[in-house]
Amino acid sequence: MTDEHVVTVYGTPVMVCAPDGLPLDAEGAATELVGEAIGQRAEVVVVPTERLTDDFFDVGTGVAERIAQKFDTYRVRLAVVGDIAERVAASPALATWVDGSNTGTRLWFSPTFDDFQTRLDRRRSPRAM
CATH of the domain at 64: 3.30.750
pTM of the model: 0.90
Within-domain flag for 81: yes
| Portion of the chain with pLDDT greater than 70, in percent | 92
Within-domain flag for 128: no
Given this model, what pLDDT does residue 109 score? 97
Within-domain flag for 127: no
Residue 127 pLDDT exceeds 50: no
The domain total for the chain is: 1
Q: In 45-112, where does DSSP find H-type helix?
A: 54-57, 63-73, 85-90, 92-102
Instruction: Identify which of 90, 96, 120 has the alpha carbon closest to the alpha carbon of residue 108.
Output: 120
Within-domain flag for 76: yes
67-85, pLDDT tens digit by residue?
Answer: 999 999 999 999 999 999 9
Within-domain flag for 129: no
Domain enclosing residue 92, as ranges: 4-122
Within-domain flag for 8: yes
**Cβ neighbours of residue 86 under 8 Å, at least 6 residues apart?**
none
Within-domain flag for 79: yes
Secondary structure letter of residue 51 according to DSSP: G
